[in-house]
Structure 1
């Protein structure tokens, strides 16, 4: 258990730094390039992520799971053959799919995204895909062996390079063309990915398993049985994200806005408000990464007690993070967005999204639990239902002149709710898991009560208001036994072994 906590703490710290650096990057990007360039970049970025998911074929998740199971059973040499097979499949995927993506890029930019300005950023993104794919394979292999350090630090290195580039290079490269500026920004993303890949290669060189035995090629069948459902889930998730700006722009133009205004609005929502809400998710993100090998390992040796122990602690922690984050953003989120990103005025987007995004913080650990327990297909279907629901509702609501971008905000929240509730139901139906879900209802109730009380009281100082808010929330969580001091024995166990 100590190794699980140690890996989680390491990933939490480094992912926090990575999120913080990413936050700084977005602030610098908005201030230097402006809302229109950010809008073009954020419109193209979901397509970039979709390209990566398409080419990866779900192999990183499958590789991590298989390597973790082999490692738990002492079959160390066999892990190398799994890596070899994944690299071969990835190479074939890159050679087959990238030319197709290159060919259809103009159609994606002009017809689907309805923005000629996204064409060059997308071209730069296509050149970056192979780097991300190979880096993902190495990262997944090391994670399966229990090496959490490279996963964490590679992300931090990537963000550091991006901040340096956006702060010191972009101001000298800016032109009068928003399209060119967005392409430069995508190129800086590529620089960060290259730096992370180089770090992973160096780390792999020093930890790779050396053996005199000839490494055979692992059969692809077992890999694809895990990879394809995982790929379907991730692919559909990224595909709905890819469709999101398309549906958003189409619906808003139907409602009466110009394409330029709609693109700028999408850039503000997806480049400012959503990242703000996702910033506290560094702990759930760390847990989601480490839960796959941790739960796969416990399931492989049939240790049900350890399995439930890890799941319980993870979900309780994510629930607490979601509770504090939702409370803060509902009360202070819109003011924070204006102050940090120099937006023109408060939009009240946060007051709509914050109560919903509580469930986002538990979504990624739930997804990892399902994938680790061979329920990747169930997770995929949950993502499909959530994605379809979001897009359909966005198309209907955002096209209404009375709602416009607020309709899109409601639809984004609906997608989060639907997917999270389906994940919760799927985990509860697994006979191996004995975890109760009262903790979600209790912590959410504490969030609601705190927000109602604090919204009725006026303070002269925002700092005073925040301190009292968190103090009240902590008291309520303690009274409802959501803050469990007994969990800290695992932290003591960790430090006793350091």
Structure 2
């Protein structure tokens, strides 16, 4: 168990650093460019990710799997051939989908998004696609040979370059009254950051490639094994990116029907997707790390039919995720609006933090639940749960956001509804598996502790008497005391943490 926990902690640190840098970028972007430019950027970004998914077509995942198998068999001489075949497939998909994406932009920006100002940003986003696609191939290679360091460093380099350019380059490029170009410049900065990341990956890849003598390298690797893995695995990713691609379209169209102008709706979407959601998801590096480590850990315990170890690992990961959700929900419910206004300098929309915080408690348990379903042979059910949640979110968003009396509040409620549907379906699916001994009661007390904190904290210690950082610390301490009193946090947890920080 100790190796499982230590591996999780190491991954948490790496993901935390990457998220922190991305968070700094968002803060700088909002402060420098303003709400409307961020809104245009955020409505274009899901389209860029969808276009990228079409070009990649699941090939990076296939590379990782095929290379891992060849490396395990000692057939490393075939690795360069695998990369050549994967590159050829990506060139073919790029030749088909990139021109199609360029032709689709006018209709997407003017008709679907209802905001022609987003077209320039979309064109710049398409220019990133081939760069990001090549980077994805090399990341797949390094994942296959179990070299996560290169991937982690490439992401950190990308974030550092984005922060440097957004802080010192973007202010000199900004054009007063031309938010469309300002958003396009920001997307251009993303392009430059991707290029720096790609250069690093290419350098590290060439270093690895030189270890295999040219005379020993296999000239060709067949397409069939790669496509056999890539095409099925691309289905769920394409659906996920497609629903995200549809989100700003439905958001803007529904608000237009309720009487909100395109400019105002774009700004509000930028605040929700570029400020509120990232702020709410910032602590999710803990459940994310757990979800990555869980698949092999739970799979191993399930394969050995060790039910005690299986339950121990599942319960520990879900308890840690639920506690993370309780702390995040408490802090963001009580102080979320103040945090959004202080960090991002937003003028409206920050009050929705109070509405979203109680719901996003369930987001924190979502990724570990999905990983457990994957590890226990319920991957298809887990994927369908996500599909149902995505469809429900979009449907409810269109219905509620188009109502003149609800507008943006309806869209925010729909986002929360999607989170609840997916999370509850995951719990219900896992509950059927008697070996895991998991149900809704595991999350009841942490959630009840959050509710008690939200009610009692302002009564016992009035809010506003201290600085924002101290206010958040007091709320965190208040919740910790309640969790200790209710037995959700035990003395053994502190002893476990003490062991983890020691160097072995």
Q: TM-score range by the shorter chain?
A: 0.7 to 0.9
Give the C-alpha shift of residue 292 in structure 1.
4.9
Change in Cα spacing, 1:343 to 1:85, as seen in structure 2 (3 Å) is same
Give the C-alpha shift of residue 452 in structure 1.
1.8
Is 1:194–2:195 an aligned residue pair?
A: yes
Find the partner of 1:350 among 349, 353, 368: 353
Q: Structure 1: give runs of 5+ residues left out of the alignment.
A: none
CA contact (8 A) 2:51 2:97 kept: no
CA contact (8 A) 1:272 1:341 kept: yes
Q: Structure 1: how far apart are the matches of 2:64 and 2:497?
A: 25
Q: Which moved more, 1:336-345 or 1:457-466?
A: 457-466
Is 1:261–2:264 an aligned residue pair?
A: yes
Change in Cα spacing, 1:83 to 1:305, as seen in structure 2 (3 Å) is farther
Is 1:117–2:117 an aligned residue pair?
A: yes
Q: Structure 1: how far apart are the matches of 2:427 and 2:119?
A: 39
CA contact (8 A) 1:68 1:293 kept: no
Q: Structure 1: how far apart are the matches of 2:152 and 2:470?
A: 35
Q: Structure 2: give runs of 5+ residues left out of the alignment.
A: none
**1:26-425 → structure 2 map (5 Å cutoff):** 26-64=26-64, 74-77=72-75, 80=79, 86-176=86-176, 177-206=178-207, 210=211, 214-215=217-218, 227-292=230-295, 310-344=313-347, 347-371=350-374, 375-425=378-428
Q: Structure 2: how far apart are the matches of 1:387 and 1:92?
A: 30
Aligned to 2:11: 11
Change in Cα spacing, 1:366 to 1:97, as seen in structure 2 (3 Å) is farther
Q: Structure 2: how far apart are the matches of 1:309 and 1:143?
A: 28
Deviations, residues 175-203 of structure 1 (Å, cap 9, x unaligned): 24221111110010111212222223333
Q: Which moved more, 1:409-418 or 1:313-322?
A: 313-322
CA contact (8 A) 1:226 1:376 kept: no
Q: Structure 2: how far apart are the matches of 1:68 and 1:3?
A: 22
Please report the RMSD computed on the Cα atoms of aligned residues, expressed in angstroms: 3.3
Q: Structure 2: how far apart are the matches of 1:283 and 1:89?
A: 36
Q: Structure 1: how far apart are the matches of 2:69 and 2:24?
A: 38
**1:413-492 → structure 2 map (5 Å cutoff):** 413-429=416-432, 433=436, 438-457=441-460, 458-459=462-463, 460-462=465-467, 465-483=471-489, 486=492, 489=496, 492=499
Give the C-alpha shift of residue 163 in structure 1.
0.8
| SS of alignment partner, residue 325 of structure 1 | helix
Deviations, residues 288-314 of structure 1 (Å, cap 9, x unaligned): 445456666777888877666554443
CA contact (8 A) 2:457 2:478 kept: no
Q: Structure 2: how far apart are the matches of 1:281 and 1:317?
A: 11
Give the C-alpha shift of residue 331 in structure 1.
0.5
Give the C-alpha shift of residue 391 in structure 1.
0.9
| SS of alignment partner, residue 361 of structure 1 | coil
Change in Cα spacing, 1:99 to 1:205, as seen in structure 2 (3 Å) is same
CA contact (8 A) 1:56 1:93 kept: yes
Deviations, residues 65-104 of structure 1 (Å, cap 9, x unaligned): 5656776xx4243793766654443333223222221221
Change in Cα spacing, 1:69 to 1:486, as seen in structure 2 (3 Å) is farther
Q: Structure 2: how far apart are the matches of 1:374 and 1:484?
A: 32
Change in Cα spacing, 1:58 to 1:421, as seen in structure 2 (3 Å) is farther
CA contact (8 A) 1:11 1:148 kept: no
Change in Cα spacing, 1:366 to 1:220, as seen in structure 2 (3 Å) is farther
| SS of alignment partner, residue 364 of structure 2 | helix
Q: Which moved more, 1:395-404 or 1:218-227?
A: 218-227
Change in Cα spacing, 1:346 to 1:261, as seen in structure 2 (3 Å) is closer
Q: Which moved more, 1:247-256 or 1:125-134?
A: 125-134
Change in Cα spacing, 1:468 to 1:172, as seen in structure 2 (3 Å) is closer
Q: Structure 2: how far apart are the matches of 1:435 and 1:473?
A: 24
Structure with the greater relative contact order (CA < 8 A, sep ≥ 6): 1 or 2? Answer: 1
Q: Which moved more, 1:208-217 or 1:343-352?
A: 208-217
CA contact (8 A) 1:324 1:447 kept: yes
Aligned length: 495
CA contact (8 A) 2:427 2:439 kept: no
Deviations, residues 25-69 of structure 1 (Å, cap 9, x unaligned): 122212211111111111111111111222222344455456567
Deviations, residues 380-422 of structure 1 (Å, cap 9, x unaligned): 3222211111111111111111111000000011111111222
Give the C-alpha shift of residue 277 in structure 1.
0.8
Q: Structure 2: how far apart are the matches of 1:409 and 1:152?
A: 33
| SS of alignment partner, residue 9 of structure 1 | helix
Change in Cα spacing, 1:239 to 1:437, as seen in structure 2 (3 Å) is same
Q: Structure 2: how far apart are the matches of 1:268 and 1:434?
A: 40
Q: Structure 1: how far apart are the matches of 2:500 and 2:474?
A: 33
